Amino acid sequence: MLLLLPVLAWADSLPLPAGQTQVLPGPYMQLWKDPQGDSDFQTVRALPDSAWQAVGRRDASFGYDSSTYWLRLDVHNPHARALNWVLLIGNPLLDQLDAYGLDGERVYRSGDQRPFDWRWVEHRQLVLPLTVAAGEQRRIWLRMQTNGSANLSASLMTHEAFDHQEQRSLLFQGLFFGALLGMFVYNLSIFCITHDRNYLWYCLFVASFSLYEFIQLGFAFQWLWPNALTWQQLSFPLSSALATLFGIQFTYGVLALREAPAAYRRVAHSLKACAWLVLVMALLGPYQPALIASFVLIVACALAAFVITLLRWRAGYAAARLFALGWFVLISASLASILTGTGVLPYSLLTLHAQQIGGVIEMTVFSIALAARIRQVQEAERMAQAKLITQARQLSSEQAKHLELQTQISENLEQRVKERTAALEETLQQLSSANLRLAELNRRDGLTNLFNRQTLSEELARACARAERSRQSLAVLMLDLDHFKQVNDRYGHLAGDACLRHAAQRIQQRLRSSDLLARFGGEEFVALLDSTDLTGALDLAEQLRDDLARHPCLYQQQSIPLSISIGLHAGIPDAPDCGESWLDLADRALYRAKAAGRNRVASYEASTLDGA
C-alpha cells in the first residue's frame, strides 16, 4: 500500500491556479495508449480506472511514437468565483489533438494536419480555453496522435497569466528573429562587397535556420500556409536539411578544407550527400523517417564539424578557435532539443528554447569569427602592401611586373567565382523546378492532364471523411464515352486521343473550381462534387451529356460526334472510408445507363439495381 501512495498522489485533482501562477499538469494526468488509434471517445470514457496509468512526470512525452495517446486530467476550481483559464499545448507540430470536456459537448480539434481555422483561438500554439465555476470539478480528455515528437509540452494558467507570458514570448521571438535578420543583412552586405562565397553560404545558413525555427515555433503554419497541410509536414525536415547543407558548405569554405588533408574533404562530401538524401526523403518519403534522419544528420554534422574544427585549430589554423566554440554550443543546444522531443529531458522553458538560444550564440560566434577573418585578411593585405612598397624601392621594374600579374590573377579569379556561383544557382533552380514538375506529373494523367486514378483515390478518401464529418452531401459521377472502340477503329488511335482530350476539356469547363475531375482509365472519367445533392448531380450530369453531344470533336478537318453515358451516386456518407463503395455504386449506375441504350444519365437506386 505504501508503494501505491505516490501513484494515488499523481492522480489527484489539479487545483486551478490563480494570478500569474503557471502549473505543469503532467503529474496529475493519466494516460491510455491506443496503438491502433480506432477507439472513439465513448469507448475511452467507459474504460475502468484500472486501465489508466499515471503519467508520473512533469510533462506527457512519449518520444517519436505514432500511436494514439488518450490523456485525462481532473481539475477543480478552489476559488470563490469562476475564472478563465488556458491549457497551453506548447508543441505546435502535433499532427492531431482532440479535447473533450472543455465546453460542454463541443470537441476541440486542432493540430498542424488540420486547417488552422479549426482552432478556437488563433494562435501559433494550441490554446485550449477553459472556464470552471467556483467549486466545480471537471474532467478533461485529450486525444493526441502525431508522426513527430509525441510531446505535449502542456502548461495551465489563467488567461491573464497567458496574456502576460505571450507578451514576453513575442518580445523574445522578436529579438530572436531580429538578431537573425541583422546577421543575414550584415553578412549579405559583406558578400556583396567582397564576393566571398563563405558569406553567401553563411547568409543561406542563417535564412534556412530562421525558416526552420519559424516552422518549429508555429509561425509559418499560422501566417504563411494555414491550409497547406502536406507542405506544413514536409517543410520541417526539409528546412532542417537545407540549414544543414548550407552549414556544411559554409564550414567547408571557412575552414579551408580544400587545402586540408583528403580525409576531411571525404567527410564533408559524405555529409553533403547525406543532406541531399534527407532533402529527397523530405520531399518524397514518409514524414517520420525523414524527420528522424534530419535530426541524426544535424547531430552527425555538428559533431564532425566540431572535431574537424579542433583538428584544424591544432594544425595551426587560428580562425578555427571561435568556430570550435560555436559548434560546441550548437551541439549542446541540438542535443537538448532532440532529447526533450524524445522525452529523455523534462520539458521546461530552457529546453523549449534551447535550440533558439544555442542558435543565436552559435551564429553570433560565427559572425565574430567572420569579422576576425576580415581583420586577418586586412592585416595580411597591409603587410603585403608594406612588403611590396619595400620591394618597389629596390626594384621598381620588378614591382610593376608583379602588380600586373597580380591584377590579372585577381580578375581571372573573380570571373571564375562569378561563373561558378551562377552555374550553381542555375543548377539549384533547375533541380527545384524539376522536383516541382515531377511532383505534379505524379498526380496527373499524361494524355488529358486531368488528375490520375491514384490522386482520385486520395482526394475521394478526404472528401468522404470531410462530408461525413460536416454532414454535407457528396456526389460521385462515373462517365464513359459511348462506342469509343468504334471511334478508334474508324478514325484511328490519334483521333481517339484527341476525343479523350476534347471530352475532358468539355467536362472540366462545366465543373466548379472546387470539383475534381480525374481520368479513371481508358475512356472513363470520374467527377467528385462537394456539397452536391442528388438533384444537383442529376442536373449537372444532364448538362454534361447534352454539352458533349452538341459539340463534336474536330480533328484534322473531321467532325467526330461523341456521346457519353453517366452513372452517379449522391448523398451524405455514413462512414469516412466509403470512397470505394461509392465508386462501385456509381459504376453500377453507369452499367444501367449503358444497358438502357447509352447517351443517358442514371443514378444509383438500391432497390432497382439490387433487384436487377
Which residues share a beta bridge with 559?
554
DSSP state of 61: B
Burial of 454 (0-12, 13-18, 19+ CB in 10 A): exposed
**What is each CA distance from 201 to 210, 376, 418, 443, in whole angstroms?**
14, 20, 14, 34
Q: Mapped to the 3 state alphabet, what secondary structure does 77-108 carry?
A: CCCCCCEEEEEEECCCCCCEEEEEEEECCEEE
Cβ distance 85 to 131 under 8 Å? yes
Side-chain half-sphere of 452: how many Cα atoms within 13 Å? 10
| CA angle in degrees (0–180, nearest 5) for 573-576-579 | 75
Q: Which of 381, 419, 425, 523 is catalytic?
A: 523
Note every long-range contact of 349-355, with CB atoms under 8 Å and residues 24 or more positions apart, other chains counting. Answer: 352/90, 352/153, 353/172, 355/213, 355/216
Burial of 438 (0-12, 13-18, 19+ CB in 10 A): exposed
Side-chain half-sphere of 469: how many Cα atoms within 13 Å? 10
Q: Which of 103, 109, 104 is nearest to 89 (CA)?
A: 109
**What's the rounded Cα separation, in Å, for the pair 302 and 275?**
13
**What's the rounded Cα separation, in Å, for the pair 326 and 606?**
71
Find where cell 530572436 sits.
176
Cβ distance 207 to 184 under 8 Å? yes
| CA angle in degrees (0–180, nearest 5) for 280-216-123 | 135
Q: 3-class DSSP state for residue 596?
A: coil
Cβ distance 64 to 291 under 8 Å? yes
Q: Cell digits for 297? A: 544528420
Active site annotation includes 105:
no
Strands (E), 350-468: none
Residue type, 308: I
**What is each CA distance from 160 to 133, 138, 559, in whole angstroms?**
17, 21, 73
First CA to last CA across the chain, in angstroms?
69
Cα torsion angle, 172, 114, 338, 223, sign: negative
Q: 3-class DSSP state for residue 475?
A: strand
DSSP state of 460: H
Q: Rg for the chain (alpha carbons), in Å? A: 32
Residue type, 608: T
**What's the rounded Cα separation, in Å, for the pair 116 and 142?**
19
Q: 3-class DSSP state for residue 109?
A: strand
Give the active site residues.
523
